[in-house]
Structure 1
Amino acid sequence: MNHYDVVIIGGGPGGYNAAIHAGQRGLKVACIEGRGTLGGTCLNVGCIPSKSLLHASELYEAATGEAFKKLGIEVNPTLNLSQMMAQKAESVTGLTKGIEFLFRKYKAEWIKGWGRLAGPGKVIVTDAAGVETELSARDIIIATGSEPTPLPGVTIDNTRILDSTGALSLSEVPRHLVVIGAGVIGLELGSVWRRLGAQVTVVEFLDHVAHGTDLEAGKTLHRSLSRQGMQFRLGSKVTSALPTDTGVTLTVEPAAGGEAELIEADYVLVSIGRRPVTKGLGLETVGLEVDKRGVLPNKGHRTAAEGIWVIGDVTSGPMLAHKAEDEAGVCVERIVGKKSELNYNLIPNVIYTQPELASVGKTEEQLKQEGRVYKVGKFPFSANSRAKVNHETDGFAKVLADERTDEILGVHLVGPSVSEMIAEYCVAMEFAASAEDVALTCHPHPTRSEALRQAAMAVGGHTTQA
């Protein structure tokens, strides 16, 4: 039996970061991952490859549409989809190799195979050949992540009916892509294929897109994507999808009930959410059970079983790579006996469409529900000089602050590169900054980030640029 201080089941953003943290603290650590590369869903078939295609498709649309012509650049580009996919794969490979390097640097061992609990302090690893190895550890971290949630009546085959993995690897541009679900994955991947020439129809059960975001921000994003040519069927549900060799026939009904209609597509992307991966983990061997949502409960990352911890998508909280990364550090710190905390109220959320949507803290809807009295400061990107000269004027910056103390309670951005700018407010809110603190902070001109300052100034009623 091989003994370790810490054994981690899962090599995604939570697992591999936990392994690196443990190695840095001098612990003997092993990370079990059965995929051929480290990095989990995020790096291999999620966050990273989708951003590669989002970037490439943005450039392609700029070159083939009016954007380049408006700037006085005349070109006649053609799409080489196979090369676009190849550079995506190259980027992913480079990053996964980077994680392997960090494992070697910090003496974290990668054990290739699939892990399952086998009683207190024990883990069985089954490799690709079916050979089993038993490990023991003082502490075990479960970081098995999540998988796409299936939709009743729709069978994913990744030929015509795709999950997010399949939608990242198409060998042709769809003529008509139907996206089921107007969340992060659906909007991002729908944007990719629309830019590359597909007709895209998004079918969403709710009456708005981007569920969980500030409603005003979500509506602004919806309008912008609609203007770009993405079609939306809100308040609708797909009850069946019948694939053929050349396409898919979908049955779509009003969510509230009513007459069904048929929609023809050549590909369908199912993106209604994700669920924790716990099947075959051997939870019963240590007396653990998932809750009604399939989530492994935790208290300070500890499960109810002694010496077993849980982080990332498999447990409570938003299913975000950066949330899993932060939990990894906090969890390892607690394992070595140090006090460490993660502020779950200040985990930013981003949708990488064009424009982007980024937010942190409370939405207006949440503040109203809590009965919190607040002030609103808004500033449109149409009044921001850098956004204007770049022809990126869709969206706004919105700051919500306590009416009495002026403390910033929530920030919601829709606009260009806001994924990079939201961190300014994450830092400010970690220090319990007031809107006035940001309003009095000098920002470089001309930059898009000036919109953040102007929105803070608007809380106090003294915007200078709009």
Structure 2
Amino acid sequence: MNQYDLVVIGSGPAGRRAAIQAAKLEKKVLVIEKGTRVGGVSVHTGTIPSKTLRETALNLTGWRERGFYGRSYRVKQEINADDLRRRLLITLDHEVEVLEHQFSRNRVQQMRGKAQFIDKNTIEIEKEDGEILRVGATSVLLAIGTKPYRPSHIPFDNDAIIDSDEILAIKELPRSMIVIGAGVIGIEYATIFSALDTAVTVVEPRDTMLDFIDKEIVEDFAYQLRDRNMKLIFGQTVEKVERDPGTKCRVTLQNGRVLTAEMVLFAAGRVGATDSINLSAAGLEADSRGRLKVDPETFQTAVPNIYAAGDVVGFPSLASTSMEQGRIAARHAVGAPASDPPQYFPYGIYAVPEISTCGLTEEEVQKRGIPYECGIAHFRETSRGHIMGLDSGLLKMIFSLKTRRLLGVHIVGEGATELVHIGQAVLNLKGTVEYFVENTFNYPTLAEAYKIAGLDAWNRMGELKFEKMEKKAAE
């Protein structure tokens, strides 16, 4: 039986980063992947496919140019499912090729097959050809990700009633769609298909959506969605989903309302893919959603030599944070020093429009009792926004009145997931409002919105800014 310093189960963002990190520390590493190709959910059904689908939809529909040429503008008049898949397959092939090369050059060993625990130090692998073998592991990292939650009362048929994994294989673009669940995945796909001119209705049992995002940003986002005729139904649970003999699906809500559409996408949560790895043999137990509890600094489970990272440990379930979790876990697992996870990291929601945020929301600042002021910039206030034909987009920054430090940055609009990193850097370096007021930004750029928002906040701070200027002059 081969012995490894670290066995990584799963090759998604957390698994790949962990394996490469351990290999760079000259440890013997094995990655076990049950799929036919490496990459995990992120590459094959999650992050990369959904973002590629978004980019393809925006390009083919001419979405970004409609501010100038009108809502009827199209790059391609008739768009079908094959048009969307063509770019997707090219992108996925490239991602897999890059990952294979990274594993190869770092001497990371790979094995295809289904893994399960025999005990906390022994993993059994059932290979594709039926061969079964065992490997020993000093440490194990579980990076097994999640799969769509599929409740028994939803009659999934892999055709018209589907989950977020199956949506990538649809045969035709629906004229109408009902999305059940207004979480990140549901909202991303709902807005992407809306951009493709599908009539979309979103149903969410909670009274709000995206609760971890600043409320003002969510309100602006919801306004933009309703403005393009998307229906958002909050505070209603789904009682029944059924498919008519014809081409329609019927969704019955708690209040008796009946909705009809050509397709239903159920995107109300995901569960950890822990049901097939025999956790009990290793002394572990998952929660009701299949997730594992870990130490938030080391990502160590209740069993000292077993770690878990990525979506299987729950929120925030981002590819970016999963990579960092995997790297930190790998260093701890092989006995190397590791820094603490960063205090502030960005969230990115690749809807249409994008949302990105870093730091404290206005609601969190209020809850902590911190005196604060906000600065806001609309993208239409920037020259770059005029050039791009933007009539929407908002950047909001929150500053402490006492220290003038940036507390949070929140963006909705074109390029939000790229722009947020400026605010992230200032946050982590404990920068103040003066950074945005006194610095020069390229012109014309959307990044100029930072200066506009900074000046807005600085002007609102009243006498505090003059005290700062007098002190600086005296020095």
Q: Does 1:271 align with 2:267?
A: yes
**For the residues of structure 2 that align with 1:80 and 1:288, how far apart are their CA atoms?**
46
- Residue aligning to 1:261: 257
Inter-partner Cα distance in structure 1 for 2:53 and 2:76: 20
Q: Alpha carbons of 1:288 and 1:103: their partners in 2 closer, same or farther (altered >3 Å)?
A: same
- Partner SS for 1:168: helix
In the alignment, which residue of structure 1 is the partner of 2:372?
Answer: 374
Q: How much does 1:417 deviate?
A: 0.4
- Which segment is superposed worse, 289-298 or 169-178? 289-298
Aligned to 1:391: 389
Structure 1 pair 73–369 and aligned structure 2 pair: CA distance change class (3 A): closer
1:50-69 → structure 2 map (5 Å cutoff) = 50-62=50-62, 66-67=66-67, 69=69
The aligned runs of 1:97-112 (5 Å cut-off) are: 97-112=97-112
- Gapped regions of structure 2 (runs ≥ 5): 462-475
For the 8 Å contact 2:160–2:249, the answer to whether it is kept is yes
What is the aligned partner in structure 2 of residue 161 from structure 1? 161
Give 1:194's aligned residue.
194
| % same residue | 28
Q: In the alignment, what sits opposite 1:250?
A: 251
Tell me if the contact between 2:124 and 2:134 (Cα under 8 Å) persists in the aligned partners. Answer: yes
Q: Which moved more, 1:4-13 or 1:300-309?
A: 300-309
Between the aligned partners of 2:321 and 2:64, the Cα distance in structure 1 is 37
Displacement of 1:76 after TM fit?
6.5
How many Å apart are 1:60 and its aligned residue? 2.5
- Deviation sequence 1:301-360 (CA, Å, 0-9, x none): 111213111111111431111111011111222234333234354121112123211001
Q: 1:64 to 1:24 in 2, by over 3 A?
A: closer
What amino acid is the match of 2:337? K
Alignment match, 1:295? 291
Letter in 1 for 2:110: W
- Report if the CA contact (8 A) 2:60-2:74 is conserved: no
Q: Counterpart in 2 of 1:256?
A: none
Write the deviation string for residues 146-187 of structure 1: whole angstroms up to 9, x where unpaired: 112234521333222111111222111112110011222112
Any residues of structure 2 matched to 1:11-30 within 5 Å, and which? 11-30=11-30
Cα distance in 1 between the residues matched to 2:170 and 2:68: 27
Q: Is the 8 A contact 1:38 1:99 kept in 2?
A: yes
Where structure 1 has 5 or more consecutive residues not aligned to the other structure, the ranges are: 254-258
Q: For residues 65-120 of structure 1, what are the alpha-carbon distances to aligned partners after superposition, in whole Å with 9 as ceiling and x for unaligned?
A: 84563699996633243132122112111111210111111011111011112113
- Give 1:205 shift: 1.5
- Using a 3 Å threshold, how does the CA distance of structure 1 residues 147 and 63 change in structure 2: closer, same or farther? closer
Question: For the residues of structure 1 that align with 2:277 and 2:151, how far apart are their CA atoms?
Answer: 24
Rate the CA distance shift 1:376–1:10 in 2: closer, same or farther, 3 A: same
SS in 2 for 1:224: helix
TM-score by length of 1: 0.92
Q: CA separation in 1, counterparts of 2:73 and 2:263?
A: 34
CA contact (8 A) 1:68 1:74 kept: no
More divergent stretch after superposition (198-207 vs 367-376):
367-376
Q: Equivalent residue for 1:413?
A: 411
Alignment RMSD, CA only?
Answer: 2.3
8 A Cα contact 1:151 1:270, kept in partner: no
Asked whether the 8 Å contact 2:175–2:197 carries over to 1, the reply is yes
Q: Is the 8 A contact 1:64 1:76 kept in 2?
A: no
Other-structure match for 1:210: 210
Match in the other structure for 1:38: 38
CA apart distance, 1:290: 2.4
Q: Which of 443-452 and 185-194 deviates more?
A: 185-194
Q: Give aligned pairs, total.
A: 458
Deviations 1:275-301 (A, max 9, x none): 222112222122222245542111221
Range with bigger deviation, 69-78 or 300-309: 69-78
Q: CA deviation at 1:128?
A: 2.4
CA–CA distance in structure 1, aligned partners of residues 210 and 386 of structure 2: 26
Q: Superposition pairs for residues 440-451 of structure 1, below 5 Å?
A: 440-451=438-449
